[in-house]
Structure formats: C-alpha cells, structure tokens
Amino acid sequence: MTHSLVCPETLSRVSSVLNRNTRQFGKKHLFDQDEETCWNSDQGPSQWVILEFPQRVRVSQLQIQFQGGFSSRRGCLEGSQGSEALSKIVDFYPEDNNSLQTFPVPAAEVDRLKVTFENATDFFGRVVIYHLRVLGEKV
C-alpha cells in the first residue's frame, strides 16, 4: 500500500531559503499540508531538498506542487542506502503551473533521497514549492 513516507523523524535539508527567512519560507512548509505556506528558495543555478528517512523505504512516486512561474524545467531524483554515495534514480520534467504533479519513480529502496531542481522558470533561479510528497512503502 502506497502512503507518504515523510514522518516527524525524517530529517530534511534544503539548498537555500529566501532571505534566510526560515519562519516564513522554511523547509517545514514542504510537508505541513497547509495550502497557505511554502518553501521559497533563494536564487541560484539549482536548488535541492535532501530527505533522510529513519528506516529504509521503497519509493514509488514523487508529488510536487510548485507556484507557477517559480518551478523547474528539469528535476533529478537521487538516492542511497547507508553511507553509500547518492546515485541517480530518475529525471523528471515538471510543468510550470500550480497543479499538484505526480512523477512515477522506478522502484528504489533508499534511506536518503535528494531532489534537485534545475533550469528554474524564474529568471533568478528561485523555486517555490507548496507540497512535496514522497510516496511508497516502508521496507
């Protein structure tokens, strides 16, 4: 059964936060299920989110809701187990809109994920995400 793999024990890191204002735009807003809050990156050539799960998981889908005008044209999902180096799982190609987008993931068992957002639609390279969901099952 597929369900959200992000739990309170999941550790997360992000590449940047707009004006370092973590209270208003921090990483916690990626997972709070609140339609009014978002993670807003600062400018840069690419942005990323790293998730470290408390146990091994089998990822099957990635769901992302961007703010139109602040999405990326290309994304890369990487994963690893234990202290292994990250390796590429799949590239995905978001649309520049406000819809919740779902991307299938080839079955990957990991305890660490990195989602990289490249080629931002914003001139300055900022990315705004309202929801980031990693779906699958615990192993």
Q: d(Cα 12, Cα 29) in Å, to the nearest integer?
A: 11
Q: 46: how many CB neighbours lie within 10 A of its CB?
A: 17
Which residues have C-beta within 8 Å of that of residue 37, sequence separation ≥ 6?
Answer: 29, 130
C-beta separation of 134 from 89 below 8 A: no
Average pLDDT for 74-79: 98
Flag whether pLDDT at 123 surpasses 90. Answer: yes
Average pLDDT, the chain: 96
22: enclosing H helix or E strand: helix 22-25
Q: 67: how many CB neighbours lie within 10 A of its CB?
A: 18
What is the reported pLDDT for 1?
67
- Confidence at 94, pLDDT banded by 50, 70, 90: very high
Q: Looking at the DSSP assignment, which residues form a beta bridge with residue 46?
A: 118
Average pLDDT for 56-78: 97
